[in-house]
């Protein structure tokens, strides 16, 4: 799915307060660069940006219109305001739809595994994979069905490489999901029991001094 966003050109070299005012109006400063475009400072509506990303996904192709000209782009990078949770800056990469890109795709699991039904623990040691695909074929996430996965079993890149329509750049032994046995009562108790490491150290010097004073 291709989303659409209309952007406005913005001037650079302005005081920082100009960017602050821009964000205060609900606009996000950014830049578009890449295939057959000049690097151009722009701003986009944050509401439109969020809506488009929800519809198209993090790796989806976006039709970015600047001064009446539309360009196919993907969201290359972004900065967030940690306190407000809003976008501070966005980078759009113009892409050639016939050439492959390398991007990161999230790993999502589907279903409840057989191992979890036996109180096993589902682990995702790696939550992203790097893939290579044409822009229109890039998924927002790599979905893995774990329904038949039992305790002691795992799924690696090698297990699913032939089931997807794009290239996964990680090695075959790259583990995506595993099911481990539930912890025993003894293991749980050992986690809850405080160790000697947290105890107050014995102040030998003070005791020695007290003994000298008593003498």
Q: Give pLDDT tens digits for 4-52.
A: 999 999 887 666 777 888 888 999 999 999 999 999 999 999 999 999 9
User: What residue ranges define each of the domains in the chain, with the CATH number in brackets?
Assistant: 3-94 (2.40.240.10), 101-192 (2.170.120.20)
Residues 91-147 have pLDDT tens digits of 999 999 999 999 999 999 999 999 999 999 999 999 999 999 999 999 889 999 999
Rounded Cα distance, 89 and 180, in Å: 41
* Rounded Cα distance, 182 and 196, in Å: 26
Please state, in angstroms and rounded to a whole number, the distance separating the CA atoms of residues 15 and 12: 9
């Amino acid at each position: 799915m291709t989303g659409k966003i209309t952007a406005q050109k913005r001037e650079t070299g302005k005081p920082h307060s100009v960017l602050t005012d821009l964000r205060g109006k609900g606009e996000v400063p950014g830049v578009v660069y890449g295939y057959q475009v000049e690097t151009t400072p722009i701003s986009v509506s944050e509401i439109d940006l969020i809506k488009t990303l929800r519809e198209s996904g993090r790796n989806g192709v976006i039709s970015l219109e600047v001064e009446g000209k539309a360009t196919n782009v993907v969201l290359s990078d972004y900065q967030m305001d940690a306190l407000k949770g809003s976008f501070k800056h966005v980078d759009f990469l113009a892409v050639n739809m016939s050439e492959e890109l390398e991007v990161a795709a999230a790993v999502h699991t589907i279903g409840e595994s057989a191992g979890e039904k036996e109180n096993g623990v589902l682990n995702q040691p790696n939550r992203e994979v790097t893939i290579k695909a044409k822009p229109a074929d890039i998924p927002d996430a790599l979905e893995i069905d774990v329904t038949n996965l039992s305790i002691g079993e795992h799924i690696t890149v090698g297990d699913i490489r032939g089931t997807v329509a794009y290239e996964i750049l990680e090695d075959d032994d790259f583990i995506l999901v595993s099911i481990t046995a539930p912890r025993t009562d003894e293991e749980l108790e050992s986690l809850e029991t405080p160790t000697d490491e947290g105890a107050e150290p014995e102040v030998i010097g003070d005791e020695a001094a007290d003994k000298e004073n008593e003498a």
